Amino acid sequence: MALADRLLAAWYSGHPALALLRPLETLYRRVVARKRARFLSGESPSYRAPVPVIVVGNITVGGTGKTPMILWLIEHCRRQGLKVGVVSRGYGATPPSLPWRVEAQHAAEQAGDEPLLIVQRTGVPLMIDPDRSRAVRALLASESLDLILCDDGMQHYRLARDLELVLIDAARGLGNRRCLPAGPLREPVERLAEVDAVLHNGAVSDPADGFAFRLQPSALVNLRSGEHRTLDYFPPGQALHAVAGIGNPQRFFNTLLALNWQPVPHPFADHAQFSAENLAFEPPLPLVMTEKDAVKCRAFAAADWWYLAVDALPSPAFVAWFDAQLAHLLPARQQP
């Protein structure tokens, strides 16, 4: 097990050796607190876009279902007649210049796996740049938009925001509730009291401190041909190789088990790069991966490689709450 994986396991299961990292955690907390205080006081400038900005992120290291929620928000806002744009850091991307407009035909190495997935699934205007405020300016210079979704960026205070939505994995929670490097938190747990909504991925009902949402598998999609198959395409008990290069691979493997298949798990690091060689598993079986991984594997995919499409399903209470926020942020849209 890699060092990063051992550290992640310790954060969520508890380990006495983490106490040795508490002096570094104290230093990290001070840096984070000072950074936020400078922006709240106006000492450090932030860019306020002429349209509402909604940040979708987390305060923990590891996957929380952020990309499926971004996809749901795009489609939900479009159904309200809104023109939506997205900005993202573009983690791991190597564009020729910044900011960079992601197009569906771009390579994942150039655009980043998550931004490319979002564009290929929705066709939404999307700009990547570690400087999210610069990405917003560039996007608005090329598109007439009603609102912008910021993929991650909770700690990127140079971009002012109108709503903050924080996602938490309901099964793993906040781990040992300590900040980096002694725990998985990017910001202290008290930060949750300042955000607009907390969504718990996998919760069966709305918890007292927020809303529930779940990820629902919707189809199997062939990487080579693009054909869609229903989830009964593989019979119960089907053995298959399962590939997940995401923040929480076990959640993907558990999903396959819940579909009554028998996955042989192959976890990879988040945002891992793939090749035909490192996916050449034995024995020969169908291979199923996440959609995020699939955008990096289509060029060399075998005929029996598939990805599992999933959709975010937020609770009715969140949908009602979010619609009320839209009405507040965009009151002119509500006029007859």
pLDDT tens track for 73-91? 999 999 999 999 999 999 9
The predicted structure's pLDDT at residue 14: 82
Would you place residue 2 in the very low, low, confident or very high pLDDT band (cuts 50, 70, 90)?
low
What is this structure's pTM?
0.94
pLDDT in tens, 187-214: 999 999 999 999 999 999 999 999 999 9
Would you place residue 227 in the very low, low, confident or very high pLDDT band (cuts 50, 70, 90)?
very high
Question: DSSP strand E in 34-90: where?
Answer: 53-57, 84-88
91 vs 276: CA distance, rounded Å: 23
- Architecture per CATH, 3-212+314-334: 3-Layer(aba) Sandwich (3.40)
CA dihedral sign of residues 308, 265, 11, 174: positive
Question: Taking 90 as the threshold, does the pLDDT of residue 332 lie above it?
Answer: no
% residues pLDDT > 70 (the chain): 98
Closest by alpha carbon to 72, among 201, 206, 172, 207?
201
What is the arithmetic mean of pLDDT over 110-137? 97
What is the arithmetic mean of pLDDT over 8-20? 89
Distances (CA, A) of 334 to 196, 224, 323, 329: 22, 44, 11, 10
Question: Taking 50 as the threshold, does the pLDDT of residue 335 lie above it?
Answer: no
Question: Taking 90 as the threshold, does the pLDDT of residue 241 lie above it?
Answer: yes
Question: DSSP strand E in 185-292: where?
Answer: 197-201, 211-222, 228-229, 239-244, 262-267, 287-290
Would you place residue 63 in the very low, low, confident or very high pLDDT band (cuts 50, 70, 90)?
confident
Closest by alpha carbon to 273, among 36, 122, 45, 93?
93
The predicted structure's pLDDT at residue 97: 97
% residues pLDDT > 90 (the chain): 90
Helix (H) / strand (E) containing 98: none
- Our CA angle for 323, 159, 192, nearest 5°, is 60
The predicted structure's pLDDT at residue 76: 98
Of 13-22, 203-212, 237-246, 273-282, give the lowest mean pLDDT range. Answer: 13-22
Locus of tokens 């298949």 = 261
Residue 78 token pair: 């479009």
The predicted structure's pLDDT at residue 175: 94
Bridge partners (DSSP) listed for residue 219:
309
The predicted structure's pLDDT at residue 13: 85
Closest by alpha carbon to 169, among 201, 215, 142?
201
Would you place residue 62 in the very low, low, confident or very high pLDDT band (cuts 50, 70, 90)?
confident
What is the arithmetic mean of pLDDT over 14-33? 95
Would you place residue 1 in the very low, low, confident or very high pLDDT band (cuts 50, 70, 90)?
low
